[in-house]
């Protein structure tokens, strides 16, 4: 089973920027849609952005214009560029991908998450 690993989280100041990366570990035949979510304490998990294999993107209204999702199909990676960050965006950020792996098995894969803390 292919694993996803997020990186790039950490502490940023309000108004600051962070760039998250999502890497795959294991054999990948093809990755369809990829997405980023976040989950803050006491709140529902929130879909932030998604990107198709062909690069079509969708964004939640809460991040539109500030976050940019991208992917590198040759490296099987996804990225989330985040700007103008707000304290209320402190959360664990997760990568999600629809992956076809060995034996053409299909998995809805999740990473373990990376903590993003926005504070002065």
Neighbours of 8 (CB within 10 A): 16
pLDDT tens per residue across span 35-56: 999 999 999 999 999 999 999 9
At residue 103, the pLDDT reads 85
Say if residues 119 and 13 touch (Cβ distance below 8 Å): yes
pLDDT tens per residue across span 51-107: 999 999 999 999 999 999 999 999 999 999 999 999 999 999 999 999 998 888 889
At residue 18, the pLDDT reads 98
């Amino acid at each position: 089973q292919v694993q996803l690993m997020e990186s790039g989280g950490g502490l940023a100041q309000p108004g600051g920027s962070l760039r998250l990366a999502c890497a795959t570990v294991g054999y990948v035949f093809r990755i369809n849609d990829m997405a980023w979510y976040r989950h803050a304490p006491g709140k529902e998990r929130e879909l932030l952005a998604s990107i198709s294999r062909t690069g079509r993107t969708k964004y939640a209204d809460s991040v539109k214009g500030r976050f940019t999702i991208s992917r590198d199909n040759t490296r099987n990676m996804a990225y989330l560029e985040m700007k103008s960050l707000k304290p209320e965006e402190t959360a664990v950020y997760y990568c999600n991908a629809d992956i076809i792996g060995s034996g053409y098995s299909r998995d809805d894969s999740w990473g373990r998450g990376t903590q993003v803390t926005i504070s002065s």
